[in-house]
Amino acid sequence: MVKYFLCQQDDRMLYAAVPVWDEEANAEMMDLNDWTNWPPSYAAQFKVNGHDYTVYPDILMGSRMMVSDAVYELLQVYVPSLFSRMALLRDMERSQQKLYWMIQPPLVDCLGEQSQFRPGGTLMKLVIDRKRTEGKSLLQVQGLRETCMLVNLALAESLLRRGTSGITFQEVAMQ
C-alpha cells in the first residue's frame, strides 16, 4: 500500500528567494503563461530582489512550480518524462545566479469522493483515490484551484536523504 505526501514549499523559511519575471531579459515573444510551448533550449530569467541573508529553497511554489537543479536531477530518476524548462534566478546586486527548473508534474484525476471543499471552492480536506495514483512517483492533482503536488513515500524519502531545504511533506488521506 503506497503512501502519498503533499509536497510544498516551507513557508516558515525566513528570507526565501522570491522570483519575479524579468520582462527585459526574456524575449518579448516569451510569455510566462505559455511556458509549456517554449523551445526546450530556452531558459526563463527571473529577478531575485535578495539581500545578504537570502536563502534559495529547493522548491518554489509561486505562479509556477520550480525546483532546484539538485531536486530536478532526482526527479529525472523517478519521472524521466517530467515536463520542464530551465529557469535562472538572478540577483544582480550580489552577482549571483541559481539554476532552477519549472516543472509540470503529470496531471492526474485522482481526487477522492471524500475530499471536502469550503463554500468558495477551495480545498479543505484532500483525499486521494488510491487506484488512480498507482505506479506514479510524482503527480499533480487535477481539478483543484490549488496546486497540489504529491510524491510517493520512496521519492519523499529520497528527497529527505539528500538534505533538501525549504520542502515540507504532509501525509495525504487515501480511499
Q: Convert the pLDDT of each residue in 56-95 to its tens digit.
A: 999 998 778 999 999 999 999 999 999 999 999 999 888 8
Q: Domain locations in the chain?
A: 4-174
Beta strands in the chain, from DSSP E residues, in sequence order: 4-9, 19-21, 43-48, 59-61, 65-68, 83-91, 96-104, 107-108, 116-117, 123-125, 127-128, 138-141, 149-152, 167-171, 173-174
Are β-strands 4-9 and 65-68 bridged in parallel, bridged antiparallel, or unpaired?
unpaired
For residue range 125-148, list pLDDT tens digits in order.
999 999 999 999 999 999 998 899
- Write down the pTM of the prediction: 0.90
For residue 134, the one-letter residue type is E
Separation between Cα atoms, residue 175 and residue 173, nearest integer Å:
7
